[in-house]
Amino acid sequence: MSSQASERLKQNAGKIMQIWEERARNEVSASLHQDSLVLQNSLPQYLNQLIDELSTEIERTPARIEADKVESKRISNQHGHERAGYADYSMTQLIFEYHLLRQVVFQVLEEEAPLEVRERDIIIDSIEQAVNNAATQFSQTLRDIQELFMVTLTHDLRGPINVVKMGTQLILRRLERGDTHVDVAARMISAIARLDSMIQNLLDASRLRAGQSLKLEFEECYLDQLIQEVVEDLIFTYGERFVVVSEPDVRSYCSRKEIRRVIENLAINAVKYGAATTPITLTLQQTETQISLTIHNEGNPIALDAQSILFQQFRRTISAEEQTGWGLGLFLVKSITEAHQGTIEVESAEGKGTSFIIKLPKVLD
């Protein structure tokens, strides 16, 4: 059997790329900002690979077929990676480029004679696989770019925020008690602390999305004392709304800093979404092997369908859409809790309010 399709493709590869580029210029908006070489990037390499796949002179052994798949994937991954680096390109435009290429390949190759069924199948299968590979790589590269941007942004923001924070604290120390500006300075410090927490949440979420673990320093913690410290700080900002019900000497092996973040996050959420005039109760209990922390607020319950997305990153319930934040708090609460070999669950019902329940291992004597 001859290799007519392979030969025709080899002879007309330049023509195919010329027609493809003309159509891309007219039909893919992002291509208008690219020069010819950048626009074509790895597609000529792909056509060379397709020439080999169509050839009947190359013995199609299992090893050769596998080698062709590997090379084809490498080329299409390169195309997807390069396209993700251009701000104008979207996934839809990337896929459309391959659809245009398929149309042009068929158009040019069938000018002389119709393709055989086998040849059409090879071309269709090859381009479909190339599309899948390029789209997958495009998504991965785009995620990597976004993660790098997020980490760089959060890192760069920490410097000026720390300067403002330290300056405001210095001003607060120098103000006399009773000065009308004390309350303003205190609110500024609280706002800066919330902003710093949001930035830390973004940074930690980026690490988790990149497959990294949070940096935790474990030590023996007295959780009853930690909760009391957190509540004292919260009272300064939110007033006398918090009730602590705790057994004494509740010890766990934990990262004190991160468990503090968990408690603060859940307590502040209770302030945001709970009934404004009712208390928020933090209950700490223990058994022989387990510690249970429940943070409860009154108010409208969380709908069952909303409960299923509470702990997903960048997902917010309808009731949360009017509140400030990234939608990362509960995702990080869950991640930190699980990093401590613990669990978190939510109970919410009409007339009973909402409770977030965290269970952690207890330090055994």
Tokens of 47: 């056509």
Domain boundary pick from 96, 120, 146: 146
Length reported for the chain: 365
Biggest CA–CA distance in the chain, Å, is: 97
Q: How confident is the model at residue 54 (pLDDT cuts 50, 70, 90)?
A: confident
Q: How confident is the model at residue 324 (pLDDT cuts 50, 70, 90)?
A: very low
Please indicate, yes or no, if residue 51 is contained in any of the structural domains: yes
Q: In the predicted model, what is the mean pLDDT of the chain? A: 81
Q: Phi and psi (nearest 5°) for 292?
A: -125, 125
Half-sphere exposure of 101 (CA within 13 A, CB side): 26
b or e along 160-185 (b: 16 or more beta carbons within 10 Å of the residue's beta carbon)?
Answer: eeeebbeebeeebeeeeeeeeeeeeb
Q: Do 142 and 154 fall within a single domain?
A: no
Q: How confident is the model at residue 364 (pLDDT cuts 50, 70, 90)?
A: low
Q: Do 16 and 79 fall within a single domain?
A: yes
Please indicate, yes or no, if residue 325 is contained in any of the structural domains: yes
| 8 A C-beta contact, residue 285 and residue 291 | yes
Helix (H) or strand (E) holding 195: helix 181-209
Q: Do 64 and 96 fall within a single domain?
A: yes
pLDDT (0 to 100) of residue 343: 93
The amino acid at residue 127 is I
Q: Looking at residue 349, which CATH number applies to its domain?
A: 3.30.565.10
Q: Do 225 and 202 fall within a single domain?
A: no
| Residue 338 predicted with pLDDT over 70 | yes
Domain boundary pick from 120, 146, 172: 146
Q: Do 254 and 276 fall within a single domain?
A: yes
Q: Do 297 and 190 fall within a single domain?
A: no
Q: Looking at residue 58, which CATH number applies to its domain?
A: 1.10.490
Domain boundary pick from 95, 129, 146: 146
pLDDT (0 to 100) of residue 212: 61
Q: Do 201 and 284 fall within a single domain?
A: no
Q: d(Cα 36, Cα 294) in Å, to the nearest integer?
A: 62
Please indicate, yes or no, if residue 79 is contained in any of the structural domains: yes
Q: Do 66 and 192 fall within a single domain?
A: no
Residues 6 or more apart whose Cβ sits within 8 Å of residue 69: 129
Q: pTM for this one? A: 0.51
The amino acid at residue 188 is M
Q: Do 50 and 116 fall within a single domain?
A: yes
Q: Do 231 and 345 fall within a single domain?
A: yes
Q: What is the pLDDT of residues 202-249, one digit of tens each?
A: 667 666 666 666 777 889 999 999 999 999 888 877 888 999 999 898
| Residue 318 predicted with pLDDT over 60 | no
Q: How confident is the model at residue 313 (pLDDT cuts 50, 70, 90)?
A: low
Q: Do 91 and 187 fall within a single domain?
A: no
| Number of domains making up the chain | 3
Please indicate, yes or no, if residue 214 is contained in any of the structural domains: no
Please indicate, yes or no, if residue 306 is contained in any of the structural domains: yes
Closest listed residue to residue 315, CA positions, set 326, 302, 300, 304: 326
Q: Which domain holds residue 346?
A: 219-361
Q: What is the pLDDT of residues 345-363, one digit of tens each?
A: 999 989 899 999 999 988 7
Q: Do 156 and 90 fall within a single domain?
A: no
